[in-house]
Chains A and B, each alone.
Chain A
Amino acid sequence: DTGVSQNPRHKITKRGQNVTFRCDPISEHNRLYWYRQTLGQGPEFLTYFQNEAQLEKSRLLSDRFSAERPKGSFSTLEIQRTEQGDSAMYLCASSEQGPANTEAFFGQGTRLTVV
């Protein structure tokens, strides 16, 4: 296993279009997280899954955003009716459930540009 994988690496879309990103976590990790990172800022938590259950969503996740993890393995993040403000790097991370002192591993991200 080579780590957390995200596809595509880059996506350019026109305003108003829908986009979908995919994240494949480390295989034995049952927790999966989505973050958004805009220029000049650190990553901001969006949502996380434990297995297939979406357990928490940030207020940053507007109703145009939806995330799924249907079989508890890979996850998708969809943005509907994209806006220029959605332009950002979308990061995925995964971790074991285990004791509190575990760590999350990040993928390389999908950079979204809305034109």
Chain B
Amino acid sequence: AQSVSQHNHHVILSEAASLELGCNYSYGGTVNLFWYVQYPGQHLQLLLKYFSGDPLVKGIKGFEAEFIKSKFSFNLRKPSVQWSDTAEYFCAVNAGTNAGKSTFGDGTTLTVKP
């Protein structure tokens, strides 16, 4: 069975600070990896995804993530956060055979202070 671990439950940053959110997964086979964001009162939105190829993937709003297969990690980064990035962030993994059947981490709440 797959599992996803997000190490930081709540992160508080000031605007312009750099962000890195950790995500580790356990699954021995080929995986697809995702980061979703959920702004207050809104639905889950896809930030970025990794299926294959370049392990450094770029998403919307200046976010990027790096897949390190040897570490089973898919950490999310942004060089300079904004107040509008305040949201909950979820890492998810699926086995690649079913696009929507994913295992999610418990999320990281990011608060950006203006």
Q: Are B99 and A104 in contact (CB under 8 A)?
A: yes
Q: Which of the residues B4, B44, B99, B102 comes within 8 Å of A45, measured between beta carbons?
A: B102
Residues of A close to B103: CB separation below 8 A: 45
Give the contact stretch, choosing among B46-54, B62-70, B74-82.
Answer: B46-54
Give chain A residues whose Cβ lies under 8 Å from the Cβ of B99.
31, 95-96, 98, 100-104
User: Binding site of A, secondary structure by majority: helix, strand, loop or mixed?
Assistant: loop
Whether B100 contacts A104 by the Cβ 8 Å rule is yes
Q: Mark A66-97, 1 if CB is under 8 A from B, else 0.
A: 00000000000000000000000001011110
Chain B residues lying within 8 Å of A43, measured Cβ to Cβ, are 44, 90, 102, 104
Q: How far is the CA of A100 from the CA of B29 in the complex (A)?
A: 14
Q: List 6 A-B contacts (CB under 8 A).
A: A3-B43, A40-B107, A91-B44, A100-B32, A100-B51, A101-B96
Residues of chain A whose beta carbon lies under 8 Å from any beta carbon of chain B? 3-4, 31, 33, 40-45, 48, 56, 91, 93-96, 98, 100-109
Any A CB within 8 A of the CB of B7? no
Instruction: Give the A-B contact count at a CB cut-off of 8 A.
Output: 66
B residues bordering A, Cβ < 8 Å? 4, 32, 34, 36, 42-46, 49, 51-52, 90, 92, 96-107
- The residue on B at minimum CB distance from A45 is B101
* Cα distance, A48 to B96, chains bound together (Å): 15
CB <8 Å contact, A44 and B43: no
